[in-house]
Structure 1
Amino acid sequence: MRVRAAIAVAIAAGIVTLHISGGSAATLRNTTVVTTDNVKLSDLFADLDPGQDRVLGPAPAPGGSIHVGGRQLIAIADQYGVDWLDQSPSALATITRSGRVLDKDFFIDLIRKSVPDVGSGPVSVDLVDFHPLIVAPDDRNPVIMTDIDWDQKSGRFSATIYRTHPIGDVTQDSFLLIGTVHASQTTLVFSHPLAAGAVISPQDVRIGESSTEYTSGRIFTDETEVDGMTLLHDVTAGEPVLDRDLHRTILMHKGDPILIVFIVPGIRLTATGKALEDGGAGQYVRALNLSSNMVVTGRVAGPSQIEIETGSAAVPSDPNMLRRLATSSRANTRANLSLR
């Protein structure tokens, strides 16, 4: 439009001059892509005489186009002495400014660089009412992000984006970037959907990324931590594994007769005992060694066996200790039932 206005003013002022061309006739360029801030005569016509090229006016904004109709083209050719023999009022030339699209990936990277609190891990970004921005392809720093506001708990994010090189359009030179931003962390996620009541095995989980919006419960990073635990509700693939969604599957019950296995390098000793606590797979429980009347602590290795590791100390049993263990066991049972 600026090119058209400049041409119209020149014609109205009577400053159109004619130049006799001594070369071959020029031809119209129906479509032209420009990379600079200005439109030149050679962007409209090919085969100009040496030294005949001129700047006509400003180019459109990056990614934009202007259309020059036949009558305007004839006026331009007359003004600058272009020998355009096949001129016609129905001719049309389109000039497009090349541009680079700043998409969501660009702004996600910009957010990472501008908000150091998101950390070095993956970031989950959801932009609301986002529209790509087109800038000059050679602009290395096309925008500036200011007024950054990020609520880490809710993930709500907003910032103002300014063009480094304004184009004169207030609707495009700056805009508000809004959405949610969640820093992710490495955690166990479910490999596939599972139904409530399923007992988890290492094949049911894998290491993945989870957004902080889901970490209201404890997360896990090792599959052995959840091996043998039971799901409280249905889960989907990729969902983070949280302690609030699980409960320990009881393999050993208080009062059960058990086998106590003592493990030392090169030696395996066994003794009969009685479980003093309920326990799940891999969980540490206390038991009474019936041979020595000592209380030992071991890891549940099966429904009726615990393993005592090197360095684990035994303590003498007494009625008060056994009474405290019984009280603690009843309290834990009531807590587990309330969770269900």
Structure 2
Amino acid sequence: MKIISDTTLSKAQSVRRVLGIVAIAAMLALPVRGSLAMGLKENVVVSNNTITLGDIFYGLERDEDRVLGVSPRPGQDMVLNARTLLRIAIALDLPWRPTSSSEQVVIRRDATIIGQGAIEDYLKKAIYNEGFTGDFTVRIPPDYSQIVLPRDEPASLEVTRVALNRIKNTFEATVAAPSADNPIQKFQLSGTIHPLISVPVLKENIENGHVIGARDIEFIQVRESDFVNGTIVDEQSMIGMTPRRFILAGRPLRSGDMVAPKIVSRGDLVTVLLNQGPLSLTAKGKALENGAKGDVIRVVNVSSNVTIEALVTGVNEVRVDSR
């Protein structure tokens, strides 16, 4: 009897393993008929209630409309991994095999989505119709930040009921989408009402010395709960003033942030207006002090060298009223 050594037996087993792997690989690659034209649709958007073979694969020679299962809910995703896709291919004798375990198809159900901003706009209108006046905004919980409807439905909703708590500035509402007559989505929610105050702010950063004009001002809305007492609400309080120090754009201001600009500087030549009864006379003077509009400063008459006190009325302009 011929004896086979352990070494020879081990080599034979190794060869068989290699041949087995090659055979499996060849078998996976075997169904090549039409495979060059067939492949996965990796990201798919469907609008129907069912998923078909044609939703997953392209280049099919048959059965494109074959139903495989139920599609995800509107707006949601479904992932078919490589194992599931291989089962489908084997069961339906398709000339396709996954090349790696990472292959997948993501199926998203098409939908009409009503976002948080639109929902809050509908609620705001309903609250306004209940008699809540003035500027305000509403805020709802994150769980109600969107409403998802089937693709063919309009992006609309109806607030069928709203109840206000004017003391706490809260509300409860019932919402139906896309309408009360077709309530595909219907739910109750509660939220908060935030009254708003219009506040003038600077459009751009401005430093001391710049005289603020109407063109420098815009309005923002601040929640009443965030409003700080003493904040300027009348833009006329800002016009003709200058920042006490550098001020950032868009920031609510307080009266202490503004000062009257110095429109007369010490050493400047000024026009002195002298009102004497029905007569008005003018003279040239020299400012001995800085002054803002409305300040009383000392001025020396350059002709007579007499020092007088005068009221600053404009840029390099002062007035003396005779008694």
When normalised by structure 1's length, the TM-score is 0.44
Radius of gyration: which is bigger? 2
